[in-house]
């Protein structure tokens, strides 16, 4: 069930049978010469939509702009400041909680978001803690690549040249879902260099075509489909387990 394609009355009915919602979250940033700018928000959205086909899961609109300042030397990247990102996540949580959602799972697609998402969770939990009351909701962060079995499958599919950014696994997922967007390029070197992540101009100087340790040419629709199917199955299990967690009285 997709929240943005539902009416308020349908959401009211959903809340009678479940208080759990999944929020895909990612980033709009460069992913090398062949990766889509939306890769990091498309991957969690694709996986969440596949999961809701198989289970009674409510999927929120995708939070598609994240922490991508180190990619700003590449055209098309859009980034939020940490303070803006944290504040926006907090408002999403408060909006959902006021309707009665008690379990809010953020399915993340961008490693650069992790620290700020966790900081946002701490901010909203602090409101309840300082007021000496229960928050009334629980928050969970899941990176799609950390879902059970997904990392192992990616390492099996791409034993070398997987890397840390513009990876063949994430690009394979977008190829499976959006085959009309598949692009190709000749890479030199075939596997990109690796190293630190700092500010935008430093990143552009170190990783001239935007890749980090990766060879996206290994991606394929078939491999992407296998990753999505496994990730969706694992997400259903994660959502079910999260939903079953007892809330304090």
Q: Where are the beta strands (DSSP E) in 67-162?
A: 103-108, 138-143
Cis preceding-peptide flag for 189 (omega within 30 of 0): yes
Q: What is the pLDDT of residue 247?
A: 80
Contacts of 60 (CB under 8 A, 6+ apart): 3, 4, 21, 22, 23, 24, 92, 96
**d(C-alpha 188, C-alpha 24), whole Å:** 34
Q: Is 221 left (phi over 0), alpha (psi -120 to 50) or beta?
A: alpha
Position 248 confidence tier, pLDDT thresholds 50, 70, 90: confident
- Domains, in order of start, for the chain: 3-157+232-244 (3.40.50.10310)
**d(C-alpha 87, C-alpha 68), whole Å:** 16
**d(C-alpha 63, C-alpha 39), whole Å:** 13
Over residues 13-44, the pLDDT tens digits come to: 999 999 999 999 999 999 999 999 999 999 99
Over residues 193-238, the pLDDT tens digits come to: 999 999 999 999 999 999 999 999 999 999 999 999 999 999 999 9
């Amino acid at each position: 069930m997709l929240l943005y394609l539902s009416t308020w009355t349908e959401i009211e009915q959903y809340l009678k049978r479940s208080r759990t919602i999944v929020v895909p979250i990612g980033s709009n940033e460069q992913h090398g010469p062949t990766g889509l700018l939306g890769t990091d928000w498309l991957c969690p959205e694709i996986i969440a939509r596949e999961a809701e086909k198989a289970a009674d899961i409510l999927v929120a609109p995708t939070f598609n702009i994240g922490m991508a300042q180190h990619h700003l030397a590449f055209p098309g990247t859009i980034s939020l400041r940490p303070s803006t990102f944290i504040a926006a996540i907090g408002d999403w949580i408060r909006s959902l909680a006021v309707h009665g959602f008690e379990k809010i799972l953020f399915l993340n697609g961008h490693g650069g978001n992790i620290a700020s998402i966790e900081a946002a969770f701490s901010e909203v939990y602090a409101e309840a803690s300082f007021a000496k009351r229960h928050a009334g909701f629980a928050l969970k962060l899941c990176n799609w690549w950390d879902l059970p079995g997904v990392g192992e499958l990616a390492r099996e599919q791409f034993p070398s040249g997987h890397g840390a950014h513009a990876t063949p696994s994430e690009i394979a997922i977008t190829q499976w879902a959006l085959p009309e967007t598949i692009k190709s390029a000749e890479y030199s070197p075939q596997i990109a260099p690796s190293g630190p992540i700092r500010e935008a101009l430093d990143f552009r100087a170190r990783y001239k075509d935007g890749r980090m340790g990766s060879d996206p040419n290994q991606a394929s629709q078939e491999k992407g489909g296998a990753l999505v199917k496994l990730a969706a199955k694992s997400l259903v299990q994660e959502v079910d387990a999260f939903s079953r967690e007892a809330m304090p009285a």
